[in-house]
Structure 1
Amino acid sequence: MLHQLLAPINSFLQCATPDAWIEKAKQPEQLRSLLIDHCNCELKAAQTAMFLLRKYAVTQESAAIIILWAKPYEDYVYKWIRNISFPEKSIMQSANLTVKKNTPYGQDLVDKMVRLIKEEFHHFEQVLEIMKDRDIPYQNMTAGTYAKGLMSMVRHYEPEALIDKLIIGAYIEARSCERFAKLAPFLDKELNSFYVSLLRSEARHYQDYLNLAESIADGDISERVALIGQHEAQLIQRPDKNFRFHSGNPLKSNK
């Protein structure tokens, strides 16, 4: 079952995660940083999807609704407000949003991104709960350079910019899926089960992003996918002084 799920992911990615990253990630002393950054990654994934909706798919009124969905999570992370109840995901519905006129791909983008947003927020809460159970306090961390490096590939005209952002989203989700699968066997039983449970949604997110890119391009995007994938592989294989969930090859001197 897992092999079937991971086969297209591994075929899509142009390199595997370096063994050195796995060796570092499985060290007990790295668990704290790994979980905090994982928590941040879930929030960033939801924020990215919300940005795409607000910029490309929905009216201003609906954009305001989306901002309200994110507020409790962003207040927790950025304003350090801890006595927060996160919203029920049932309020996050495509039907509550109005698609911009003359946006042929708008409804498909809304449907796929709303589902992704709900799942990423749920994953954020799950990681946070695991951290609390292990007495790992949430804290801000400096961002890695992986996502920024990928975004440097985005073209500056539409709809090519949107297509590139969607392809990049596919690579980030695919890489997350690959790393969850590779790391899970080296973790304790709880984290092993949790990371394996994330594989199906991450694999679907990668496919949703890629399908959206293909639909909006209305043509062959294989050349662009390959080019961005080549850059993604370079980022994953480059020496990296900071250890993050999507960081590159750890420097031997990095402790």
Structure 2
Amino acid sequence: MSTLELLAPINAFLQCETPQAWIEEAIKPENLSVLLVDHANCELKAAQTAMLLLRRYAVDKESGEALLAWLKPFEDFVYRKIGTGDFSQHVNLSKKLISKSNFEHGDELISKMVLLIKEELHHFQQVLEIMQSRGVEYENLTAARYARGLMKYVRTHDPVKLTDTLICGAYIEARSCERFAMLAPYLDEELNKFYVSLLRSEARHFEDYLSLAQKISKENISERVSYFAEKEKALVQSSDQLFRFHSGPLAVEVAS
């Protein structure tokens, strides 16, 4: 499948392209370290989000503890500065997860989210290796308002809370994929090749989230998808004070 074919459903799903002003900011040499560090943060957060969904809805207590243990070395490295960044011993989940008997779609949620977590952690490792090869330090960055801005519109009671959360996940994955594709032509050969290599899995993640949302919902989700489409578009097109992987274009300072 060509890149154009891969991106067609994503571009149809999203209501707008990433603004050119964001692209111009992202490709500035002085922003490369922020781009890479925040990209790594996004990969870890994607894995954490999938883990939380599994722990909250799909697996028993012992399985939930196994998920926590799987992500702990990555979280220790990022948040507590523990470890060297070598996660070769932590690539796979240590045990088979047990689905809760009262959740109809538990097995499918587990299979899709475990694969997503594994891929996101692998991508995190890949970004970290690129950072290390270029002497980019892993520093703590404040998060963009993007994901939080979407999640604040999620309804607060289940099962619709889960449906909305999965739709938000679809938008975050789709936007990530679109930005990888938009950025790749402007980047050096190594980063171009790497970002293009991410497109296939990110495109599947968006589809997995969306299909799960429809299967779990008792109603057609098209209205909620359209609702979040407008919220996502507003976040992408409105200005931000800081450059991040999911930020909007930077606010223009007006001279006094």
Deviations 1:36-87 (A, max 9, x none): 0000000000000000000000001100000000010000011101335415
Deviations 1:215-248 (A, max 9, x none): 0014310000000110000000011111100001
> Aligned pair 1:28/2:18, yes or no?
no
Q: Distance in 2 between matches of 1:90 and 1:243?
A: 31
Task: Note the C-alpha offset of 1:90.
Answer: 5.7
Give secondary structure in 2 for the equivalent of 1:239: coil
Task: Note the C-alpha offset of 1:89.
Answer: 5.7
For 2:116, the equivalent position in structure 1 comes to 116
Q: Normalised by the size of structure 1, how large is the TM-score?
A: 0.96
Q: Distance in 1 between matches of 2:89 and 2:56?
A: 25
Matches within 5 A, 1:60-209: 60-83=61-84, 85-88=86-89, 91-92=92-93, 96-209=96-209
Unpaired runs of at least 5, structure 1: none
For 1:16, the equivalent position in structure 2 comes to 17
Matched letter for residue 5 of structure 1: L
| 8 Å CA contact 2:60, 2:100 repeated in 1 | yes
Q: 1:84 to 1:251 in 2, by over 3 A?
A: closer
| 8 Å CA contact 1:14, 1:233 repeated in 2 | yes
Give secondary structure in 2 for the equivalent of 1:144: coil
Bigger mean CA deviation after superposition, 84-93 or 188-197: 84-93
Deviations 1:147-195 (A, max 9, x none): 1100001101110000000000000000000000000000000000000
Give secondary structure in 2 for the equivalent of 1:91: coil
Q: Distance in 1 between matches of 2:90 and 2:116?
A: 11
Q: 1:18 to 1:69 in 2, by over 3 A?
A: same
Aligned structure 1 segments of 4 or more residues deviating by more than 4 angstroms: 87-90
Among all aligned residue pairs of Structure 1 and Structure 2, give the percentage whose two residues are the same amino acid: 57
| 8 Å CA contact 2:91, 2:122 repeated in 1 | no
Unpaired runs of at least 5, structure 2: none
Deviations 1:123-164 (A, max 9, x none): 000000000000001111011110110000110111000000
Give secondary structure in 2 for the equivalent of 1:250: coil
Q: Distance in 1 between matches of 2:224 and 2:244?
A: 27
Q: Normalised by the size of structure 2, how large is the TM-score?
A: 0.96
Q: Distance in 2 between matches of 1:201 and 1:253?
A: 38
For 2:46, the equivalent position in structure 1 comes to 45
